[in-house]
Structure 1
Amino acid sequence: MFILILIAFLVSSINAASIVSRSQSYPLSQPAVLGPKTRLAVGNKVIAPDGFERSATLVDGVFPGPLIAAQKGDHFDIEVANELTDDSMFKVTSVHWHGLYQNGTNYADGASSALIGITVIIPSNMKCDGLRGPLVIYDPQDPLAHMYDVDDASTVVTLADWYHTAATVLRYVIGNTASSTLVNGLGRYAGGPMSDLAVISVEQGKRYRLRLVSMSCDPNFQFSIDGHNLTVIEADGQLTEPLMVDQLQIFAGQRYSVVLVADKPAINYWIRNLPNTNDATYEGGTNSAILRYKGAQNADPTTVNPAPKNPLQETNLHALIKPGAPGIPEYGKADINLNLSVANVFGTFYINNVTFTPPTVPVLLQILSGAQEPSQLLQNGSVIVLEANKVVELTLSTTGRGGPHPIHLHGHAFDVVQSAGNGTFNYVNPVRRDVVNAGGNGEQMVIRWTTDNSGPWFLHCHIDWHLDAGFAVIMAESPSDTRTQLIESMPHDWDQLCPIFDSLSPSQLGGGGRKSYEEAANISTLLFPPSPLH
Structure 2
Amino acid sequence: MTTKTAVMSFCRLLIGLALVLPSIVNGYKLRYHDESFTPDVVLRVTESSISRACSTRYSVLINGTAPGPEIRLRQGRTYWIRVYNDMETQNLTMHWHGLSMAASPFSDGSPQASQWPIAPQYFFDYELHPDVGDAGTYFYHSHIGFQAMSASGPLIIEDDDPPYQYDEERIVHLSDLFLKTDEEIETGLTTPPYVWSGETNNVLVNGQGLPLNTGARDGDNECSLATILVEPEKVYRLRFIGATALSFVSLAFQGHNNLSIIEVDGDYTQPLEVDYLQIGPGQRFSVLMRTKRREELEEDRANGINQYFLQIETRERPISVRSYAVLIYPGGSYNVSTAPANPPITLPSTALGWLDYELRPLTPNNFPTLAEVTRRVTVTITQIVNNTMVTFLQNGFPWTESFPPMPYLVALYNEEMSLFPSYESAVNNGGMDNRTRTFPAKLGEVLEIVIQMTGQGNGILNVHPFHAHGSHFYDIGSGNGTYDLVQNEERLKGTEPVRRDTTMLYRYTRSGIAGATLGWRAWRLRVTNAGVWLAHCHILQHMMMGMQTVWVFGDRNDVLRLGYPAVKGYLSYGGEAYGNSSRWPTCVHYWDDDDD
Same fold (TM over 0.5): yes
Q: Which amino acid aligns with 1:74?
A: R
Partner of 2:157 in structure 1? 137
Q: Which amino acid aligns with 2:156?
A: V
Partner of 1:392 in structure 2? 447
Question: Which runs of structure 2 are paired with 1:267-286 in the superposition (5 Å)?
Answer: 267-276=306-315, 277-282=317-322
Partner of 2:552 in structure 1? 476
Q: Which amino acid aligns with 2:478?
A: S
Contact 2:93/2:117, CA 8 A, preserved across alignment: no
Q: Deviations over 1:441-494 (max 9, x none)?
A: 511011011110000100100001101001011001113243452336955532
Q: Which amino acid aligns with 1:352?
A: N
Cα distance between partner residues in 2 of 1:254 and 1:122: 16
Q: Is residue 184 of structure 2 the alignment partner of residue 169 of structure 1?
A: yes
Kindly state the Cα deviation for residue 110 of structure 1 after the two structures are TM-superposed: 0.8
Question: Which runs of structure 2 are paired with 1:88-487 in the superposition (5 Å)?
Answer: 91-117=90-116, 123-128=144-149, 130-144=150-164, 146=165, 148-151=166-169, 155-171=170-186, 172=188, 173-174=195-196, 176-191=198-213, 192-193=216-217, 195-229=223-257, 230-263=259-292, 265-266=296-297, 267-276=306-315, 277-282=317-322, 287-300=323-336, 304-307=344-347, 313-323=355-365, 325-326=367-368, 328-329=369-370, 334-346=373-385, 347-357=390-400, 358-368=403-413, 369=415, 371=417, 372-374=420-422, 380=435, 382-400=437-455, 401-421=460-480, 424-425=488-489, 426=492, 428-440=495-507, 442-487=518-563
CA, structure 1 residues 248+78, in 2 after alignment: closer, same or farther (shift >3 Å)?
A: same
Q: Secondary structure at the match of 1:485?
A: coil
Partner of 2:8 in structure 1? none
Q: TM-score, normalised by structure 2?
A: 0.70
Q: Deviations over 1:334-374 (max 9, x none)?
A: 21210111011122101111111320132212332263433
Q: Which has the higher contact order (CA 8 A, sep 6+)?
A: 1
Cα distance between partner residues in 2 of 1:117 and 1:309: 42
The alignment's C-alpha RMSD in Å is 3.0
Kindly state the Cα deviation for residue 75 of structure 1 after the two structures are TM-superposed: 1.5
Q: TM-score, normalised by structure 1?
A: 0.78
Q: Deviations over 1:395-451 (max 9, x none)?
A: 111134342100001011111112345964427501211001011251101101111
Q: Which amino acid aligns with 1:203?
A: E
Cα distance between partner residues in 2 of 1:251 and 1:185: 17
CA, structure 1 residues 206+119, in 2 after alignment: closer, same or farther (shift >3 Å)?
A: closer
Q: Which moved more, 1:307-316 or 1:247-256?
A: 307-316
Q: Secondary structure at the match of 1:314?
A: coil
Contact 1:315/1:419, CA 8 A, preserved across alignment: no
Identity of aligned residues (%): 26
CA, structure 1 residues 489+280, in 2 after alignment: closer, same or farther (shift >3 Å)?
A: farther
Contact 2:452/2:520, CA 8 A, preserved across alignment: yes
Count of aligned pairs: 451
CA, structure 1 residues 54+336, in 2 after alignment: closer, same or farther (shift >3 Å)?
A: same
CA, structure 1 residues 498+387, in 2 after alignment: closer, same or farther (shift >3 Å)?
A: farther
CA, structure 1 residues 92+341, in 2 after alignment: closer, same or farther (shift >3 Å)?
A: same
Cα distance between partner residues in 1 of 2:570 and 2:350: 49
Contact 1:455/1:479, CA 8 A, preserved across alignment: no
Contact 2:536/2:547, CA 8 A, preserved across alignment: yes
Cα distance between partner residues in 2 of 1:388 and 1:307: 44
Q: Deviations over 1:256-285 (max 9, x none)?
A: 001111125433111012112334254xxx
Q: Which amino acid aligns with 1:97?
A: W
Contact 1:123/1:468, CA 8 A, preserved across alignment: no
In structure 2, the gaps of 5 or more residues are 1-37, 120-141, 189-194, 298-305, 427-431, 510-517, 578-596
Partner of 1:42 in structure 2? 45
Q: Deviations over 1:498-530 (max 9, x none)?
A: 6699xxxxxxxxxxxxxxxxxxxxxxxxxxxxx
Contact 2:43/2:82, CA 8 A, preserved across alignment: yes
Equivalent residue for 2:84, pick from 81, 84, 108: 81
Contact 2:249/2:279, CA 8 A, preserved across alignment: yes
Kindly state the Cα deviation for residue 138 of structure 1 after the two structures are TM-superposed: 0.7
CA, structure 1 residues 203+363, in 2 after alignment: closer, same or farther (shift >3 Å)?
A: same
In structure 1, the gaps of 5 or more residues are 1-34, 502-534
Contact 2:410/2:570, CA 8 A, preserved across alignment: no
Q: Deviations over 1:78-121 (max 9, x none)?
A: 11111113xxxx61111111111012111110100111247999
Q: Which amino acid aligns with 1:433?
A: R
CA, structure 1 residues 325+378, in 2 after alignment: closer, same or farther (shift >3 Å)?
A: closer
> Which one has a bigger Cα radius of gyration?
2
Contact 1:119/1:359, CA 8 A, preserved across alignment: no
